[in-house]
Amino acid sequence: MFAMLEDDPDVSYQDEDDEETALIDKAFKNSSDSLEGLPSVSAAVYNLTKNRAVSTTSLKQDWIEQTFQKRECAKFIPTNRDPTKCGCGRLKERHPEHLIAERYEEKEEDQLQPHRRTSEKWSIRKHTVKSATDAHGTIEFQGGPHPYKAQYLRLSFDTDPADIMQLFENMWQITPPKLIITVHGGITNFDIQPKLARVFRKGLLKAARTTGAWIITSGINAGVVRHVAAALDGQSTTPRARSKIVCIGITPWGMLKKTEDFIGMDKAVDYHPHSFSPKGKFAVLNNRHSYYLLVDNGSVGRYGADIILRKRLEAYIAQKQKLGGKGSRSVPVVCVVLEGGTCTIRAVLDYVTRTK
């Protein structure tokens, strides 16, 4: 799950953490808005309240568009393995025509001047551009016994964590955490012994209920996340109790199926997770999360964008920050591991060696 990037000789991923981290060192403007409202005591006051509500919604959308960005491939760089596929993971026809035309103009120049430069490899730093986000709103999960909803936002992997905290607290009205439980493990489905499953579910649920914790996962409906969902959906957990548990999915935008369904501002998305085929490498969201950060680095079909942002956000919260207007305090981070491979081991190593 941790930094899962496909090995592709045609894509420049050497020290990609360093490349992406270098892009992150930028300052973003922090802002907030007031969400005040007036009671309706007459037709005039009702209209005033209604207008103010519309104005507040507009202000929220303006702030989100001005603060958060998406990333898109800005140059078609074909791979040596497949000339119809770009290093970003998209097929040629999924790129704007002008990007393809620019590439073939350069190819002709290369043929005329074969020693002018070496074959170019696609990279996030060189070949993506940022623009205002175009996807946020509410996901309405369908097909289950109970209706579940989740707030979501598409954002660039190098987003300032301070802006994300403003989104959580001021826009999504999430109470600041007293504890972060970050869950890592296998990304494919697996079974565990019943006794271990009971211990895992009971411990996770107890911690989330009693400590005011935030649970952070990849948000993908597979592997360890399904065991987290089973814990949150236990027989002893009422819908009201579930609503008080903050579970955040930090998910790679480029790994999701049918991302076009999420495009829109303040959009309500009817999401049918059971309608998707389980085949293929693209993922489906888990419906036991209340908030989703859909993290974008301009590529598709690869993990990694989410990992960069997740590490930085957790580190930001863990440090002494002014959270919830209650002064500066440190928030402990507990890493929970269930199954997994070398990427999970790498994640654990990062947590235990992280500089305080």
| Pairwise pLDDT comparison (25 vs 218), residue with the higher score | 218
Evaluate whether residue 11 is within a structural domain. Answer: no
284 and 322, same domain (yes or no): yes
Q: Would you state the structure tokens that stand for residue 334, as one six-digit string?
A: 């507990």
Q: What is the pLDDT of residue 47?
A: 53
Q: Which domain holds residue 140?
A: 131-353
Evaluate whether residue 313 is within a structural domain. Answer: yes
122 and 151, same domain (yes or no): no
pLDDT-derived band at 21 (thresholds 50, 70, 90) equals low
CB 2 within 8 A of CB 343: yes
Residues in Cβ contact with 246 at an 8 Å cutoff, skipping those fewer than 6 apart: 174, 175, 177, 208, 213, 214, 215, 290, 291
| 138 has a pLDDT exceeding 60 | yes
pLDDT-derived band at 342 (thresholds 50, 70, 90) equals confident
Tell me, yes or no, if the pTM score tops 0.85.
no
Strand partners, 215: 181, 247
Residue indicated by tokens 């919830």: 324
Helices (H), 86-223: 97-112, 124-127, 161-166, 194-211
Render pLDDT for 250-305 as a digit per residue (tens, 0 to 9). 999 999 999 999 999 999 999 988 777 777 788 999 999 999 999 999 999 988 88
95 and 160, same domain (yes or no): no
262 and 120, same domain (yes or no): no
CB 256 within 8 A of CB 299: no
292 and 335, same domain (yes or no): yes
108-117, 146-155, 170-179: the lowest-pLDDT one: 108-117
* CATH code, domain with 152: 3.40.50
pLDDT-derived band at 356 (thresholds 50, 70, 90) equals low
> Which segment, 88-102, 105-119, 133-147, is predicted with the most confidence on average?
133-147
Q: What is the pLDDT of residue 162?
A: 94
Q: What is the pLDDT of residue 11?
A: 42
236 and 263, same domain (yes or no): yes
Number of domains in the chain: 2
Evaluate whether residue 56 is within a structural domain. Answer: no
pLDDT-derived band at 58 (thresholds 50, 70, 90) equals confident
Strand partners, 91: 85
Average pLDDT in the 56-74 region?
90
Q: Would you state the structure tokens that stand for residue 103, as one six-digit string?
A: 């590439």
First vs last Cα of the chain: how many Å apart? 24
Render pLDDT for 66-104 as a digit per residue (tens, 0 to 9). 999 999 999 999 988 898 999 999 998 888 776 655 554
137 and 157, same domain (yes or no): yes
256 and 295, same domain (yes or no): yes
81 and 141, same domain (yes or no): no
321 and 344, same domain (yes or no): yes
100 and 143, same domain (yes or no): no
